[in-house]
Structure 1
């Protein structure tokens, strides 16, 4: 089998230069990198990652534990993280917590035993002893999408408060007054934050927050459908159902279709989290989109800074409203001109 010295000899460079290319170091010219990689391909050289990790005390891998791999938001986020990690010379090992603390801890423990260099964690609702131990032990750790109060861990997330306020103003301009919200679990930071932002937005718009229009879901489609059924059975059902994530919006859509109600003539629907299939239903769904690609990039960069022992500041990115036709035909609205989105000029 070819070794690193053979690669260096064929490429006409030093062994150290080959090592820098294989470790994706920025201190190598493009021409040299191309020459080394060509030699690697010609010789069929495969570096021994295990041996290299023993020598350097690193594995060039990071662990990612996400809430629910079946949720399109997390699927897209995992892809963005993998792309950024690969560009930085790292591989990603993914664990699906399925929103269960015990499964989260299983993957955290397993990844640490596999000696990943750092962890990206979308935490479940509670602080488990294992997560507390990981934090106090100083392992490189970054929270993603969600926070856990009381733990000093940098977090990369999106803030949807401004986008929710914009959504409520948009619905009010369309003439809607009876707006219902299906929230996520109150134990999750994302569930609490979106509920608080909705209530504040309704108050700011001069609209009543009716208790019967507040339903609690669990970020799963079944809970969205059950919540929509209860809302639509009310003596005075809402004019719009705003779901706190895309899966609950899917469940609500299923219930609305099962009742043969027309969207938006009989009831409108909007969702937190914009996903590609929202543009393929009729009518397309108004949604609040999170900057998933940027979240992935920022998360990987933050974790690499932790791995290198550098200070990390939390990153809070803005979500944005994408107006489509599921709540009514948007007219030209004040402040919309030039923003460029479907139906309203927003991006």
Structure 2
């Protein structure tokens, strides 16, 4: 049976009101009583009822974090950065994995609101979300991370890869590549559309075409990258270089290339997006567009704290950088 305030009060020889004041740090009790109550509470293993307390304070000191795919190392690192920042504010994080499914995302969203979280951080999955739209209309403190939703007036923090993608295309063309393919995200995601548009713009700047056959759509998961690579490599004239706009799709593409016995950096150039630690352990290490994941997570939490406090945080767009390694046939930059 759970230890109650009454149990602590009885053992300490004080009223329940004195226990509440002593444990909450409020005035109205002496230092001696406060120390005695704390000692008794620890001895009995008392834990405050956070739900009951939230009904009085309207705060639960928790935030909900809904991510689309925690297997993806980008989102794992993002979750770590958010939790670290939340800890500094005295907040706990409830993490849910939507598995890139809109229905699962909305179910978790309803659950978070039922648990009275003080605010929400989420990377929305593809598809319409009535629950997300309703939460925004109700004024629930919320910040979107990495992906924006068109027509939603919710603050967003995400990365801008346009300049780094342009540098990547320059790097590939300077190495002699002209037939360059891209594995992008779903058509319905702003992230996928923006990165594909940046790639097209960079190709045009180098007077290169991007035929439809060299554009393959995935779903930000490894198996879709493998299928996309299969289609590209089966072409009568396969590409000499492939750019995957997500680390898991890059992984899937690499798996298919390895299965066919292709030598990365010699037979075909490969580059990715994001920069998980295992990119550096590949043979050869992978050239990639790196996002400031830690900064993104910390900033998202700061923005949410501002929203919880009644403020109106502004959206932020952070720069990416190109990290050149040997997977495109060129030694890494010093």
Which band: TM-score by shorter chain? 0.7 to 0.9
SS across alignment from 2:163? helix
Match in the other structure for 2:247: 246
In structure 2, distance between residues paired with 1:215 and 1:46 = 53
Match in the other structure for 1:344: 333
Q: Is the 8 A contact 1:127 1:148 kept in 2?
A: no
Q: Would you say 1:56 and 2:39 are equivalent positions?
A: no
Match in the other structure for 1:30: none
SS across alignment from 1:309? coil
Cα deviation code 1:94-153 (max 9, x no counterpart):
111111110010000000000000011211223322111111111111111111111111
Match in the other structure for 2:29: none
Match in the other structure for 2:182: 181
In structure 2, distance between residues paired with 1:159 and 1:233 = 32
SS across alignment from 1:124? coil
Distance 1:238 1:106, change over 3 A: same
SS across alignment from 1:230? helix
In structure 1, distance between residues paired with 2:132 and 2:174 = 45
Match in the other structure for 1:223: 224
Match in the other structure for 2:30: none
Match in the other structure for 2:317: 316
Match in the other structure for 1:73: 74
Give the alignment's TM-score, normalised by structure 1: 0.83
Distance 1:293 1:40, change over 3 A: farther
Match in the other structure for 2:163: 162
Q: Is the 8 A contact 2:8 2:40 kept in 1?
A: no
Larger Rg: 2
Structure 1: give runs of 5+ residues left out of the alignment: 7-14, 21-35, 331-342
In structure 1, distance between residues paired with 2:128 and 2:260 = 41
Give the alignment's TM-score, normalised by structure 2: 0.87
In structure 2, distance between residues paired with 1:134 and 1:290 = 28
In structure 1, distance between residues paired with 2:244 and 2:207 = 21
Q: Is the 8 A contact 2:223 2:249 kept in 1?
A: yes
Match in the other structure for 2:268: 267
Deviation at 1:272, TM superposition (A): 1.1
Deviation at 1:267, TM superposition (A): 0.4
Q: Is the 8 A contact 2:66 2:95 kept in 1?
A: yes
SS across alignment from 1:92? strand
Deviation at 1:260, TM superposition (A): 0.6
Q: Would you say 1:118 and 2:107 are equivalent positions?
A: no
Distance 1:42 1:292, change over 3 A: farther
Aligned pairs (5 A) from 1:132-143: 132-143=133-144
In structure 2, distance between residues paired with 1:248 and 1:187 = 17
Deviation at 1:40, TM superposition (A): 6.3
- Aligned pairs, number: 307
In structure 1, distance between residues paired with 2:64 and 2:281 = 34
Match in the other structure for 2:17: none
In structure 2, distance between residues paired with 1:233 and 1:41 = 71
> What is the CA RMSD across the aligned residues, in angstroms?
2.2
